[in-house]
Amino acid sequence: MNGRGGLRCRASRLLHAGAWWLWALGLAAAASRSTNPLILGLIVAVTAVAVTLRAGDTPWVAAYGAAFRLAAFVLLIRVAFGILFGFPIPGTGVLTLPEIPVPEWAAGVRIGGEVTIEQIALAFYDGLRLATIIICLGAANALSSPTRLLKSVPGALYELGVAVVVAMSLAPQLILDAARVRDARRLRGRSTRGATGVVGLVGPVLDGSLRRSLDLAAAMDTRGYGRTAHVPAAVRRLTSGLVLAGVVGITIGIYGLFDGSSSPWIGLPMLGAGMLLGGGGLLLGGRRTARSRYRPDAWRAAESWVALGGWAAAASVWFVTTSDPAQVEASVTPLTWPALPWLPVIGLAVAALAAVVAPAPPPTMDIAPDDDEPTRSHRTGINSSATITKSVKDNGQVTEADRRTAGVGA
């Protein structure tokens, strides 16, 4: 029972942050291999469903809307560059811009000149692919807390993980600070638009960022951030060799996966070997980082299903890319409306189903992460009951001071 007398739901919990990131990276990998607007639109729809059903009422959910705005900006910039620059594509002309001559060594590149529908379509498809990847990463930020993700970082990458998490949480925190300052200025009857509103907004936001930075530095120093344990030199050399070999293997594997012209048998084996070597190096490197884990997040069956769902979508798109690339690539010469292949639809349906069957987030953020730990309101109710019970035993009655101490109204 919680402080309001209701039963706490055991099925509601925060999913492991790494599961949501693996799910989103799988969708981003699927988007990177396709320019078909139908497939990309389905990927965006899957992220929207997951954020709507599983993001909950959290501070970092605003990252999804910010990712949409950034994606729209990137799409507009890509279309504008496609109109002004690039390689000429013959087709149906739309308008003619003043053309700037280019030197001979840049033959084939145009600046201005005739703009065709095919050029605009090509730029739109490329920009839509990049925008979809940005939206997938925004969904990962909206579904998981960066600080919870830091708890799962291997010990060898703890310092790097702290820097990455701080950088990732900068933009959402600035958005929250700006909204808070804007609401405060509006309540005080001050302007929130124009140059005056911007000037009044920048100062408090920067001041809050500086204060948080100082508090973070003090907290890290208090917890002994950066301390290391003694490790033999041979283990350090072995760790460095394994990590270096793992990075090389992962780099070659990712290049083979994302390069449509390379053999798919080069990408997956090299990626798997690199991950194994890099994982071994990280496990050995974690021995020199002396840090403790406070209530680490558990990886359960739901986390595995969510992660596999995202990469099922990526595998379906990769399979179609190797068997029939025309189904996942939009055609601009000739310009035709693309078809929707059935295999990526099934893969994206699996990704959406994995997000739907994932545990729902707690209705309020004061619910304890573990079942055996009472909530803050629960502990307050226990303390209040103990205070009143002790007063009754001692005095035979409940005084007003006891009520105030226990937090109970008269």
The residues, ordered by sequence, that sit 6+ positions from 189 with a Cβ below 8 Å of its Cβ are none
Q: What was the pLDDT predicted at 294?
A: 56
Q: Mind listing the pLDDT tens digit for each residue in 33-58?
A: 899 999 999 999 999 999 999 887 77
Once rounded to an integer, what is the mean pLDDT over residues 136-162? Answer: 75
Of 96, 154, 95, 187, nearest in space to 287 by CA: 154
Element (H, E) at 111: strand 110-111
Give the bridge partners for 113, in sequence order. 97
Residue with tokens 């055996």: 372
User: Whole-number mean pLDDT of the chain?
Assistant: 77
| pTM for this entry | 0.68
Q: Two tokens at 254? A: 């990712």
Q: What was the pLDDT predicted at 396?
A: 42
SS3 31: helix
In angstroms, the CA 14 to CA 10 distance is 11
Q: How confident is the model at residue 94 (pLDDT cuts 50, 70, 90)?
A: confident
In angstroms, the CA 58 to CA 364 distance is 9
Q: Say if residue 342's pLDDT is above 50.
A: yes
Q: Which residues of 106-115 are buried (b: 16+ CB within 10 A; e: fewer)?
A: eeeebeeebb
User: Beta-carbon neighbour count of residue 318 at 10 Å?
Assistant: 24
The residue among 29 and 149 whose pLDDT is bigger is 29
Q: What was the pLDDT predicted at 376?
A: 38
Q: Mind listing the pLDDT tens digit for each residue in 367-382?
A: 343 333 333 333 333 3
Highest mean pLDDT (candidates 66-80, 87-101, 176-190, 246-260): 66-80
Phi, psi for residue 273 in degrees, rounded to 5: -65, -40
CB 34 within 8 A of CB 130: no
Ranges of each domain in the chain? 17-152+301-373, 232-288, 385-410
Q: What was the pLDDT predicted at 368?
A: 40
Q: Say if residue 77's pLDDT is above 80.
A: yes
Q: What was the pLDDT predicted at 37?
A: 95
Residue with tokens 């200025």: 185
- Percent of the chain at pLDDT > 90 equals 24
Q: Say if residue 235's pLDDT is above 60.
A: yes
Q: Two tokens at 17? A: 């942050």
DSSP 361: P
Q: What was the pLDDT predicted at 178?
A: 83
Once rounded to an integer, what is the mean pLDDT over residues 258-283? Answer: 76
The residues, ordered by sequence, that sit 6+ positions from 284 with a Cβ below 8 Å of its Cβ are 156, 235, 238, 239, 242
Q: Say if residue 11's pLDDT is above 90.
A: no
In angstroms, the CA 340 to CA 393 distance is 75
Lowest mean pLDDT among 2-16, 167-181, 247-261: 2-16
